[in-house]
Amino acid sequence: MDKKYHFRPVNKAQEVFVKSDKTLVAYVGGLGSGKTHVGAVWAIHKMMTYPEATGLIAANSYKQLESATLEKVFVLLTEMGADYYYRKSDKVLTVTVKGVACKIHCRSLTDYHDLRGTEYLWIWLDETRDTEKEAFEVCLGRLRQRIDAETGKPLLSIDNTSHTEKKADI
């Protein structure tokens, strides 16, 4: 994906949202305010900035995820001329960025327990007004992937406890 999407914000709030470097950021607005559009732009920006990291795009149901959330992402990626593939069977979006296959998990929050054990650098939750509090908290707990400042690549998560010590605790 060498082309850049030139996002033209409708208002100052959209611009602040997309350009924020904060860990947690929310774009709150009424019906038709562009929440899904600006969320898709934000997610694509994360893909382009951290292509070797894993991201999560989630919505409250698979119907919502596929008919609204991902549809907007696909439209923008197509407009950019991006090389992408969505594998519906395992709900993984792969976008080629700078020669790297960027993997994005796409999930429904009705199955939020399935997110346990995964780590993400970034997460976009669409329509969180309707998200269960526990599902939101599980997602926050998955926001654990870290990036090496020099290489821009994900850091490995290593458990220093030896196998013997683990066995002794059982």
Which distant-in-sequence residues (6+ apart) come within 8 Å of 74 by Cβ? Answer: 84, 86
**Candidate from 106-110, 132-136, 155-159 with smallest mean pLDDT:** 155-159
Instruction: Compute the Cα dihedral for 134, 31, 26, 124 and give only its sign.
Output: positive
pLDDT at 12 (0 to 100): 84
pLDDT at 76 (0 to 100): 93
pLDDT tens figures, 73-97: 999 999 989 999 999 999 999 999 9
Contact 88, 155 (CB under 8 A): no
Give 32 or 40, the one with higher predicted confidence.
40
Report how far residue 135's alpha carbon sits from residue 83's, in angstroms, rounded to the nearest whole number.
31
Mean pLDDT, to the nearest integer, of 145-150?
A: 58
pLDDT at 11 (0 to 100): 80
pLDDT at 83 (0 to 100): 94
Report how far residue 45's alpha carbon sits from residue 25's, in angstroms, rounded to the nearest whole number.
14
CB neighbourhood size of 113 (10 A): 9
pTM for the model? 0.81
Q: Does the pLDDT of residue 127 top 90, yes or no?
A: no
Mean pLDDT, to the nearest integer, of 94-123?
A: 91
pLDDT tens figures, 43-78: 998 998 888 889 999 999 999 999 999 999 999 999
Share of the chain above pLDDT 70, in %: 80
Give 98 or 70, the one with higher predicted confidence.
70
Instruction: Give the chain's length.
Output: 170
Domains of the chain: 12-169 (3.40.50.300)
pLDDT at 156 (0 to 100): 46
pLDDT at 159 (0 to 100): 44
154 DSSP assignment: B
